[in-house]
């Protein structure tokens, strides 16, 4: 969810007391100047002026929420909320949609809507010509520039429901590119706005690329401070991640091939969040491609009445966010998630029963698999009670390790075999083996290097 928004958490400037019409006219004039600066550096591409509309943050959030509700089927939104509650990512009484948009209202600065081809800018972001207005407008106008001949908005909408990891990787290209160019071109534009001989866009971008890792860490740190620390980390980490991880990827792409490489990334985007989080795996001559799973639906093995409510990719970023929420330790979570090579998750429900979460994952090494499998078992043993009150029953053969934990959600069984980890979380008694075997039997294949979300 939340595909259209750019979060700027440090908004503090205001437009002042000028009449609204002068705000609108000034914003249009300044966005026209910024458009010219973008074309001067990236090359002519805009077919005409981008529509600009000055609105309040409240209006913008309401618009974004309406878009989200139109794009996301209600059943998917409701099942996503239940899935996140089942895995303790959000509290049991949490209204996911309402709270997420409440959080956004404190920080939203602007958004480009690819459907109406309009840039909406918050009245509170700062007057035209101010640093915040300039950088925010440049970011969003880069989205408009790329949208002239790219269809990634539609591609993401189509892929998000069956492979969110892939869709999120594309989002990172889109947001990382716009963030970096927004900062680089935007700062150059601001310094030259009144005729001063400030640094050119290329120089500013090269400087900013060197700072990408530091800026990314700062963005992640923002979730630990007000107002973001008042919301579940699963939400804030996912929101910040597309910008923080996207910026690091964009900087790596730019440093290797310049602005032309950023353009090409839209034609050959990363195929997984693993490639975003580790840019070298994306930029290598032979990229590290993800394993994709097909089939393996565990519902029939669970028994009569069970149905799959959600099925999607469980990627490296998902694992990071999951364990960051569970452990409150981003570094440890990143270490557990490292080595991911592919994953699928099923969320199954039956009336009157605790929902079931099934997962099939594969890893780069057997050590990576063992670390992930043990981490899930450890979390299951303590998620509803003190660590001392839950026991992990461990079984081991020459090739396979099993963990079995009794929880308030039912039995959790983790099977680690070679580089594969299969998880049955909340499996009905006596059905663990057939459920694990069903998921483990999913077909697998590596994604093709030239693949991109289907149009």
**Residue 448 — very low, low, confident or very high, per pLDDT cuts 50/70/90?**
confident
Mean pLDDT of 89-94: 96
Residues 62 and 207 in one domain: yes
Q: Between 154 and 245, name the one with better pLDDT.
A: 245
Tell me what the mean pLDDT of segment 36-63 comes to.
Answer: 92
HSE on the CB side for 262, CA within 13 Å? 28
176 & 195 share domain: yes
Shared-domain flag, residues 204 and 223: yes
How many domains are contained in the chain?
Answer: 2
Q: For every residue of 178-208, which 3-state class applies, written as one string?
A: HHHHHHHHHHHHHHHCCCCCCCCHHHHHHHH
Going from the C-alpha of 203 to that of each of 176, 182, 209, 329, 378, the distances in angstroms are 18, 14, 10, 36, 49
Q: What is the pLDDT of residue 11?
A: 29
Does residue 299 share a domain with residue 150? no
Distance in angstroms (rounded) separating the CA atoms of residues 425 and 404? 10
Q: Say if residue 199 is in the same domain as residue 239.
A: yes
Average pLDDT over residues 169-190: 94
Residue that finishes a domain, picked among 258, 283, 308 = 283
Note the pLDDT of residue 196.
Answer: 54
CATH of the domain at 305: 3.40.1000
Sheet arrangement for strand 307-313: 307-313, 340-349, 356-363, 420-427, 410-417, 400-407, 393-396
Domain extent for 348: 291-446
Note the pLDDT of residue 203.
93
Domain for residue 451, yes or no? Answer: no
Give the residue with greater pLDDT, 388 vs 343.
Answer: 343
- pLDDT tens digits along 127-166: 898 999 999 999 999 999 998 766 666 667 667 778 999 9
Question: Same domain, yes or no, for 93 and 51?
Answer: yes
Whether residue 218 is found in the same domain as residue 320: no
Residues 251 and 295 in one domain: no
Domain presence at residue 188: yes
What is the percent of the chain where pLDDT is above 70?
89
User: Which residue among 283, 302, 335 closes a domain?
Assistant: 283
Identify the pLDDT of residue 389. 58
- Are 86 and 347 contacting, i.e. CB atoms less than 8 angstroms apart? yes
Residues 47, 59: Cα–Cα separation, whole Å? 28
* Cα 186 to Cα 209: distance, rounded to the nearest angstrom: 14
Domain boundary residue, one of 248, 283, 318: 283
Residues 266 and 145 in one domain: yes
The model's pTM: 0.92
Sequence-distant (≥ 6) Cβ neighbours of residue 48 within 8 angstroms? none
Same domain membership, residue 327 and residue 300: yes
96 and 241 in a single domain? The answer is: yes
Select from 83, 41, 367 the least CA-distant residue to 205: 41
pLDDT at 17 over 50: no
**Interatomic CA distance for residues 81 and 190, integer angstroms:** 42
Domain membership of residue 453 (yes or no) is no
> What's the pLDDT at 71?
78
**Predicted confidence (pLDDT) at residue 114 exceeds the cutoff of 90:** no
Lowest-confidence pick of 12-21, 84-93, 286-295, 382-391: 12-21
User: Does 270 fall in a domain?
Assistant: yes
Is 1 a domain residue?
no
């Amino acid at each position: 969810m939340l595909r259209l928004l750019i979060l700027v958490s440090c908004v503090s400037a205001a437009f002042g007391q000028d009449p609204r019409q002068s705000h609108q006219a000034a914003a249009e004039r300044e966005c026209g100047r910024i458009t010219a600066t973008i074309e001067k550096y990236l090359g002519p591409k805009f077919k005409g002026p981008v529509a600009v509309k000055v609105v309040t943050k409240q209006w913008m959030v309401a618009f974004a929420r309406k878009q989200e509700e139109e794009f996301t089927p209600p059943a998917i939104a409701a099942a996503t909320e239940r899935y996140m509650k089942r895995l303790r990512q959000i509290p049991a009484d949490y209204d996911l949609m309402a709270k997420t948009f409440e959080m956004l209202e404190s920080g939203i600065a602007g958004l480009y809507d690819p459907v109406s081809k309009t840039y909406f800018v918050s009245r509170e972001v700062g007057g035209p010509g101010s640093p915040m207005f300039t950088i925010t407008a440049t970011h969003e106008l880069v989205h408009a520039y790329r949208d002239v001949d790219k269809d990634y908005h539609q591609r993401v909408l189509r892929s998000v429901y069956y492979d969110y990891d892939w869709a999120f990787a594309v989002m990172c290209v889109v947001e990382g590119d716009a963030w970096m160019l927004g900062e680089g071109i935007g700062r150059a534009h601001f310094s030259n706005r009144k005729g001063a001989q400030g640094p050119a866009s290329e120089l500013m971008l090269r400087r900013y690329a060197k700072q990408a890792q530091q800026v990314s860490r700062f963005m992640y740190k923002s979730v630990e401070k007000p107002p973001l620390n008042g919301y579940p980390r699963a939400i804030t980490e996912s929101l910040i991640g597309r910008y923080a991880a996207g910026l690091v990827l964009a900087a790596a792409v730019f440093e290797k091939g310049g602005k032309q490489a950023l353009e090409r990334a839209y034609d050959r985007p990363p195929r997984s969040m693993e490639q975003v989080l580790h840019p070298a795996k994306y930029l290598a001559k032979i990229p590290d491609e993800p394993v994709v799973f097909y089939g393996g639906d565990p519902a029939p093995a669970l028994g009569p009445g069970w149905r799959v409510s959600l099925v999607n990719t469980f990627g490296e970023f998902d694992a990071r966010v999951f364990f960051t929420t569970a452990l409150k330790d981003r570094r440890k979570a990143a270490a557990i998630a490292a080595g991911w090579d592919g994953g699928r998750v099923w969320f199954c429900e039956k009336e009157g029963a605790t929902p079931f979460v099934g997962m099939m994952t594969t890893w780069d090494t057997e050590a990576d698999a063992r670390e992930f499998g043990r981490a899930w078992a450890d979390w299951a043993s303590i998620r509803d009670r003190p660590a001392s009150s839950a026991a992990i029953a461990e079984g081991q053969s020459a090739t396979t390790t099993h963990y079995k934990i009794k929880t308030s959600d039912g039995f959790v069984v983790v099977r680690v075999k070679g580089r594969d980890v299969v998880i049955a979380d909340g499996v009905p008694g006596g059905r663990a083996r057939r459920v694990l075997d069903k998921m483990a039997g999913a077909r697998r294949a590596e994604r093709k290097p030239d693949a991109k979300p289907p149009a």
